Amino acid sequence: MDSLWCYIIFYCITDVRCYMTTIFKGYLLLIALFSSITGLWGMFTPDFNVYPYFEGIERYTLAASFIRTMSGVFVASGYILIRFIFSSSKVQLGTVLIYLVVFMLIGKISAFFFEGFLMHDIIAFILGFITLIGLLYVRRQRKNLISYDL
């Protein structure tokens, strides 16, 4: 009977290994959905009552505007993670940066709507927009340099 344990353990590990990809993908999907939902909630709700750590933060402050901007990064991270799970192609680093900047700008726009126009936020939005234009330009230039005759 002791010699059979070796085979039983081997087949159990082999059986579990087949399902590990599915288990990890399910876990990553739950994290991505949670990140996206909390990010959207933070961007588009007037109060921060859902976040227990942010209860004391009042509207129309720099902290509230920063939370809305970072919520955009949470949405971008969740979207990129969902895209990574269900896509078989590699996602380029430039594309990931573009998504992060775009959702950060959406968060900044929602901060303008809820918190008002503060000088720091306007400067951060302009710098973020210039960064987005630069990323799009460099990505387009790199695509034009790729040789498809390999």
Domain-embedded: residue 6: yes
Range of the domain at 110: 2-145
- Which helix (H) or strand (E) segment is 50 a member of? none
Which amino acid makes up residue 139? R
Q: Which residue has the tokens 């209860």?
A: 55
Domain-embedded: residue 117: yes
| Number of domains comprising the chain | 1
Domain-embedded: residue 76: yes
Interatomic CA distance for residues 3 and 59, integer angstroms: 68
Cα angle 21-40-70, degrees, rounded to a multiple of 5: 90
Domain-embedded: residue 150: no
For 43-55, how does the pLDDT look when each residue is reduced to its tens digit (9 = 90+)? 888 877 666 677 7
Domain-embedded: residue 136: yes
**CB within 8 A of 81, min separation 6: which ones?**
28, 31, 32, 35
Closest alpha carbon to 34 in 11, 48, 50, 56: 50
Per-residue model confidence as pLDDT tens for the chain (150 residues): 556 666 666 655 555 556 667 788 888 899 999 989 988 988 888 877 666 677 777 778 888 888 888 888 889 888 888 888 887 766 677 788 888 899 989 989 988 888 888 888 898 899 889 989 988 888 887 777 666 665
